[in-house]
Structure 1
Amino acid sequence: MSWTKFSRRFRALIRGEEAAKGRPLTFREFVQIANPRYRWAWHHELIASVFERLISGELRHPKSGKAIRRVFVFVPPRHGKPIWEEELVLMGDGTTKPLKEVRVGDEVVTAKGRPRKVLAVHVQGELPCIRMTTATGRKVTTEPTHAFLTPGGWKKAGELSPGECLTVLQGPTIGNDVTPAEAFRLAGYFVGDGACGKVSTTINAKITALDTIEREDIVRCAEALGFEIGKPDKDAITLKGGVRDWLRETGLSGKGSREKRVPEFVKQGTPELIGHFLGAYFACDGSINRRTGARRDCCVELYSVSGDLLADVQDLLARIGVQSTIREKVATRGTNFLPGARYVSYRLSITSRDDVARFAGRVPMFHSKKATLDEWALPRQTFDSLYRPDEIVSIEDAGMLLCRCLTVKEDETFTAAGFVVHNSELISRLASAYLVYRHPSKWVAIASYGAGLAQTLSRAARMNYRTAGGELSPDMRAVRQWATPEGGGLWCCGVGGEATGK
């Protein structure tokens, strides 16, 4: 069935419902039909009541008693849908940025796993926030009315409870392959067991390695990148010949085990190249443990004194479709290295049979551990999915925090702290469509600071209008100006655009 035929039939059903009720659809009823996932908030109720009274002629001036025909509605930009501005957003190149550093024109990864441009950034000041923690150890801080994708659809953060699930995006189609795989593996070795801290006037460039297969691969990577091998050492491999400049470029120079993070170029790689980094890092800091009892598969674990580093690794694992969990470990009586002192470390675990199998199949590894992993890992039982549920385990008050939100082209979504969230939706996308729907012989205008945003709003309004059964004129359907068979419609423009005479 064509869209035109469907629209006519749907419009007939709506008109039948209006006839049964003896009145036209209210604004809220229109919204529920045009955009069922739209989350209604208190200010929408207020605006809806103003629109209803305006259209019916009941909105009158308090002194003159005359009907009011022009109304300006001022609402704080993107009111009701902000996120803490320090939350990390996945960018189109694979890197992450705090929300406060995202600019108009940047590309962010959307719920469809693809990059799309940011059309607008909306600073909203200090707002009361909540912090949600999930079973995998992820945390996200948001204003309660921001919408998150859940297995049950879009829900406001404030409506969620422990036991419900947020959605983690996995395997987005981003990344480039301009950097060789050897650079990814060498970075993994340095992050895991590399010594690259300051020594007098220079920096170290040594990797501890006892496994023969691993040592051979470190040499292979170094030579592929044009570096040289220093004096022989049975416990470590020293590199020279430009490697220190490379360490400075990657951001690893001068960093100790608590300061190291995943280099930016690694985040920009394809899933295949990211696998090379993860394999080298696992060769250094990873372990494989076989289960006992009825289950005969295994679990994979990584250890670090840096929770931030493991959070980076968790994000990389999601990029290759592997779900993992981070837990804090506290040794109150110290360790062999620090007896008697409180010692905090972190453990990242891959526990499900399918995730271990994905890890084994997607992470190249040059270490004797690889044979054990291949032997113990069992075949997969599920298919890949773009989304993975992550159960909320706690929700707590986070106080007053600076917040902001984005308008994203087409997909209208982005990720914050790894979770899929919805960007802001202006009431104009729905109100403008409703006004055309109720008054098809009248013209409605959408004006914005930029033509791009105005056209985005017009496109959304047109879709909402058609979804609710509205018909378009066959002669005028463009985003910049679309019309109804009754002679009305909607046009849009940005600052400096043509508005005179319309």
Structure 2
Amino acid sequence: QLSRAVETRPTREHRPQLSDLRECVPGETLVVLGDGRRMPIRELVGTAPEVLAVSPDGKIVTAKSEKIWLVGVRPVFLLCLASGRVIRATERHRFLAARGWETVSELSVGDRVAIARRLPEPAFPDSWPDLRVTLLGQLIGDGSYLKHQPLRFTTSSEENSRIVAEAVREEFGGDVKRYAGRGSWHQLLISGNGNRSHPEKLNGWLRELGIFGQRSYEKRVPEAVFRLSNRQIALLLRHLWATDGTIAPRGNGRGSHSVFYSTNSPRLASDVAALLLRLGITARISSVKKGNYRPNFLVGVSGANDQRRFLEAVGAAGPRAPQAERLRALLVGGRPNTNVGRSAHFKFVPSRALLAEYAEILRDEELYARATSDLFWDRIVAIEPDSEEEVFDLTVPGPASWLADGIVSHNSGALEQDADLIIFLYRPERYKEQSEIPPDQQNLAEVIVGKQRNGPTDTVRLTFIPQYASFENRVESDRQPY
């Protein structure tokens, strides 16, 4: 098993070790759990949760993880995908590519890797009052819940304003006052939420969800939302879209229909894309930056199939409802295009229906599995060194895989865990100049038994004879004469 990890080690110590074989990811990598949540891997250390994995036939399944632990500091690379998703990992980490499992060092720009086409609903989802779900969607979009400031909701929509005021009063017994702004814009001031020492009602609920105090560019969807049913996730998305979402049918047959959500929070954009996956909708994340302002992130739903699915599963509320009805009428009988909205990063991608037809004609089981899998093949648009930081391992027996925020990742640490015997060969001359090597280590070769399931581990020192490329028993120079 070739590992070049020793060459990238920040110190001058190049002796190989078991950790060089581990496939690692940084601590903020989101592990998709069986209950729907996405948790940073660093927060799962020492636990063994159920995670989402991928079966050999490409289906998303639930599997029990075995171990999650901190490995140490390693160089990390950044992979950027055409869908706007990004993943960071060490060069030894493997992802499911079109040719099979490949390490970061083996992948190239233009290769395709697998991401989940859908995420399953939890077997036992949580349930909230619908008004709370509605209110949270509206507040994440147009609400302000900063520390040391009153709770506010700013909008130009009478429908959105009415539903927020109703939800605050009925669910939390809060007081709502309206203040006029420019034109149709107005602000709702929400009071009666306790104080800093004793937060109550809506204030207390937002703190409980872990989102109180977030600025607009820090906003995210609370982890608790991911434990809800698909119906309530669709409800939250419907009211989130009613704030900063867009549904824009094309005019006069020109251009493409637009369905997207806009935010200056990268985490919120990622969360919205993940929620859409719960409904079987694959979104694309793009960003636009103007001047010195923070970048704006767009979560786009493109292509007739996904846009129809969006209208059926998510629907529209408030000011987005009329546009949704118009788009629905235009999409009737429309011809799906699997390349719509994928940008120049994507080349032609045949539809799943076409693949299934070819699989049936050719009686090709592998092709049929591709056509009916739960996976989408995303193109790599960039691979670049990123940083050196703490990285973590996760092992999942059985499927030997897990979802890193929807991207299919291999069972980290599998080689070290599964092998019965691991032997390393180390020659100092491979990494040092001849003048740097002490006389007693000239032509030294170490055979390091790093793991032996049924026996001891040790290091055996041999002499390497370069002109014959052979190894002989070593006579240590410090051995004393009789």
For the Cα contact (< 8 Å) 1:127–1:143, is it kept in 2? yes
State how far apart, in whole Å, the 1-side matches of 2:326 and 2:256 are. 9
Query: Structure 1 406/302 Cα, relative in aligned 2: closer, same or farther at 3 Å?
Result: same
Residue of 173, 185, 188 corresponding to 2:134: 185
> Which amino acid counterpart does residue 402 of structure 1 have in structure 2?
E
Distance 2:294 2:17 in 1: 49
**Aligned equivalents of 2:376 and 2:18: distance in 1?**
33
Note the C-alpha offset of 1:282. 1.0
Contact 1:132 1:139 in 2 (8 A): yes
Go from structure 1 to structure 2 and tell me whether the alpha carbon gap of 1:158 and 1:263 turns closer, same or farther (over 3 Å shift). same
Tell me the CA shift for residue 161 of structure 1: 1.2
Percent identity of equivalent pairs: 25
Query: Match of 2:75, SS?
Result: strand
Distance in 1 of aligned mates of 2:129 and 2:454: 48
Structure 1 residue identity aligned to 2:409: V
Q: Which residue among 39, 48, 55 is the counterpart of 1:105?
A: 48
Alignment partner for residue 207 of structure 1, among 153, 171, 176? 153
Counterpart contact for 1:82–1:146, Cα < 8 Å: yes
Residue identity matched to 1:192: G
Contact kept in structure 1, 2:48 and 2:68, CA below 8 Å: no
1:141 and 2:76 aligned: no
Matches within 5 A, 1:370-409: 370-377=321-328, 378-379=331-332, 381=336, 386-409=374-397
The residue number in structure 1 matching 2:18 is 76
Deviations 1:272-318 (A, max 9, x none): 22111111111111112233575675111222222222122222222
- Residue 117 of structure 2, aligned match among 142, 149, 170: 170
* Mapped partners of 1:248, 1:312: distance in 2: 19
Q: Distance in 1 between matches of 2:179 and 2:454?
A: 70
Query: Which residue does 1:42 correspond to in 2?
Result: 2
Determine the C-alpha separation between the residues in 1 that align with 2:296 and 2:417.
50
Which secondary structure does the structure 1 equivalent of 2:216 belong to? coil
Take 2:382 and 2:250, find their aligned partners in 1: how far apart are those partners?
29
Q: How does 1:279-428 map to 2 (within 5 A)?
A: 279-291=238-250, 298-332=257-291, 342-377=293-328, 378-379=331-332, 381=336, 386-423=374-411, 424-426=413-415
**What letter matches 2:96 in structure 1?**
L
Deviation at 1:224, TM superposition (A): 4.7
| 1:196 correspondence with 2:155 | no
What is the aligned partner in structure 1 of residue 177 from structure 2?
Answer: 231
Q: Is the 8 A contact 1:271 1:319 kept in 2?
A: yes
The CA distance in 1 between the partners of 2:155 and 2:213, in whole Å, is 20
Q: Tell me the distance in 2 between the aligned counterparts of 1:319 and 1:293.
A: 33
1:328 CA displacement? 2.4
Structure 2 distance, partners of 1:84, 1:226, is 39
Runs of 4+ in 1 over 6 A off after TM superposition: none
Which residue is equivalent to 2:168? 222
* Aligned partner letter, 2:406: G
Within 1, Cα distance between the matches of 2:33 and 2:317?
A: 30
CA shift digits 1:98-128 (9 cap, x unpaired) = 2222233222221243432221224332333
The letter for the 2-side match of 1:102 is L
Give the secondary structure class of the aligned counterpart of 2:80: strand
Q: Which structure 1 segments of 5+ residues have no match?
A: 1-40, 45-73, 333-340, 433-444, 449-502
Q: Is the 8 A contact 2:247 2:260 kept in 1?
A: yes
How many corresponding residue pairs?
356
The 1:416/1:216 distance shift into structure 2, 3 A limit, reads same
User: Compared with structure 1, are the counterparts of its residues 288 and 113 closer, same or farther at alpha carbon in structure 2 (3 Å cutoff)?
Assistant: same
Unaligned segments of structure 2, at least 5 residues: 5-15, 181-185, 193-200, 337-350, 353-371, 422-451, 456-482
Change (3 A) 1:363 1:221: farther
